[in-house]
Structure 1
């Protein structure tokens, strides 16, 4: 952080000015109007607050601490803060002992919850009630680092004469607040204190670093609770018998709704509340205890609509089910026929090849989730078939005839990804198409948007996606007019998004939006027993496409296939089998080749072939290409996506620009080379 000299003079105490500060304090207490360069504005403001609050400047200690029972109750109330702070404070124990200082943790009001540090200094602090249960707010103890940091909500260093109360002026203290990662409210304060001779500017850096670590641990803990809450409520969100369902966190804030919640709330608003609309975001249940209804329950909510959600005996949230009242429909003989016809239509997920229990469970979960529009996060390694699962969920849903749009968030640069997702207006940048371009989000309107490799999305682009999901509207680049969109979101990643959130590489609020439900697709090495039936089915389809007889796989072939670890997963298996079909080589020889492309580990992310889609049993074999054809198609797609900029196209493919030109000539696309050069030259 770039801190100017004048900011630094306000941030840190200046021990050499103690005598002048003391004189200023005496004049302030005498009611004299005076100013001095020795007194920081921070201290002057705090002293005036103390004067207005009638704090006794002659105090020599904090008020008596809470009773043992009251302190225990307070510590239980702030259990999460204590749990997150204890290991972090313990790490500073040796440093504190060597510097003759102590570290103090307080709640949001300045009441001490725990201490750590030098034994002699702790004993010295007890003489002025610097002990658990004692309040060190400004109104209780005047200007001090704990109370003043809470009052101003930023790091504070208070030294010696700068304290307001006479009995505390022999101490030096540095403190900052600990903020709630959910709503940035003050949870407490962390402080390092010692006698005046222990003054050190680094103490302020220590408390800031300590607070940051505590906030990180709190965020990780809160994320885990949210994740468990959504997992436990998933079934109710997707199977609610036509009612509106809202999930609230343990603080009483809405986290997730099903697709019928808005209808239920609007019906309720008209029928009971007398308003035309009830905003879900404005509803708050208040904090819920383990054995009672949430505090501050709004009058229109019937208590029987509420259901606590527990995990390991701890209440982690509340489920609100709002009944929807519908008039009975007139009898129609056609309705049962339509339902029967739909029920008889086979699900494409039923054709997935494999009997491994983990795979079967994933397929069943996908079938369940296809019945609702709840966002789905697909988890699995590269090549396991996440896009195939996404297409299967779409095809089994109610909007299967609507668009299914795929965007790979990891295969494009930041600028290309922005235009790919949001589109752009005419003239928004040099080289923009006449009339502008529709983005993939807009193209998915009414259907399904599948964002592959979501964990690769740049951090600064994530808020824009979050806004689309929250507001249901997008802005094309260069436009000021919003465009309404409504789509089903399916995302996929091979990263641990919870760890990405903790490490600051992925937004927590976006994570909660996309990870309402998840499906983990097992890697091929974890279901090797499926390889024989999967290989035979795949070979038959590949042979049919190429017009060749399907070769028989010997016991030795199957043994070689089943003993390989398959780092490229099902995609690699498919390519090995296609190479075997076309070259006549046995699987063992292909698996151990030094050419990764032959084994199916591609130098760039080419589209999945029809054979790959069939090995999961989804759809027919569609336009299956040989490796050269797939490479040619990927190159054309990259050039189109980069609007003729060959450097960007090469970067998105992961190859050098010179290599790209050689490949274009190899595929007889020399005219495209010249056209791309002309387009790129006009753009500059």
Structure 2
């Protein structure tokens, strides 16, 4: 079967064609646990003509231990070296890629290799799985020349995999104990709502459950997802569905140099009664969304514009900052001219010249992507705006800037002293309940009034993380609209990327792999066996891919 899969994948039989991966993670659960285990086991075979190899779950070689120089040279000639991916679909039958395909340890003897140059080797691969989640983390492989084949190779590989798994469990327990310890301290000392978040752990104290209803709790948990894996402390504000604003303070917890997780302390910034008594949301053209968090953002922007306070609007790309500013300006200052200048399009000199001309004309001003300006350009912009504020304090134009949430203008820059207010626009993943309304709005704007989205399709869209935010959603709807002009959009009509619900960011290769699996399943009406056959993979592999990518079918 492995040879059949290799043939269907068009594997070159004359030479291995392993891809080289530019960036291989250096510090992971697998590498931390394997480092000491493999160092010890490599010492036991130091004088033997055998190489001890560790790969990740994609078959990419992370480390190679070998004392025999001639063997190292031979492995280099077939690219069985750190950074190269030894997937079965690329190099054919081998102890690494085939073990991942069948999901079991195995020994591949010389002639059993599909690729000619690999027939001079024998290799034994054993999977390393996470002891808690069961996820495949990688492979331990022992490779030697075919003449030295020994059944003990597989036993040694399985022993190494077992020891790594045991060490992962020890580290997991140690990290969880550290996180739990600091969580209990935070709960006792603060007396306030506290959440602990780790790779596989999320804990919420009684105070959090008592102070926030289920919808607010879900929103807080969703915001804490952004903190997972962060190694620096930070504080952010979260607008919750109930209408209150909560201050979330994240503090990372370490065991030695390893991140165990983090503690999030929560404090209400706006009293509930006051929050619920706010005025109705002003209607803005070209803006859709009715969630509490979105309404709070819109209301804040309109309030600032009404008071003619200068404003910095920050947020991730694609969240709708420009749309919000244009709509708020039309609503509040509709009779006043506004010039919208993009610092990402104009050169620094061109931008500053146009800023000067706009201010001289007395028009309102919006500068997009101010974070891309150099320190020198920011200083000149600050001087221009400062002059306007001095010269016409009673009838000065309204000015707003947009910045990237993680690349904003430095807090200490004099320019920001001219702007009393910074408002953050939430990413789409923080107000997913607005997606049905956004879908209708975007379809109407695209001229697809006869096209509707089914409840099932909307629910599927609301399961996604939308790293590209509203701009990403618009591109998805544009793609759907190219294939149909009217009727009801069902889940099967969505692009492949929307049929998977994994929250992590995929590499380009993983995204292509996900799309291929989704397309094959669609072509074969969800028949996993037929889809696997068409893709040249085993049923076990396609089930693993479906779980790994969160594919819904």
Q: Same fold (TM over 0.5)?
A: no
User: TM range, normalised to the smaller chain?
Assistant: 0.3 to 0.5
Structure with larger Rg: 1
- Superposition TM-score, scaled by structure 1 size: 0.35
Higher strand share: 2
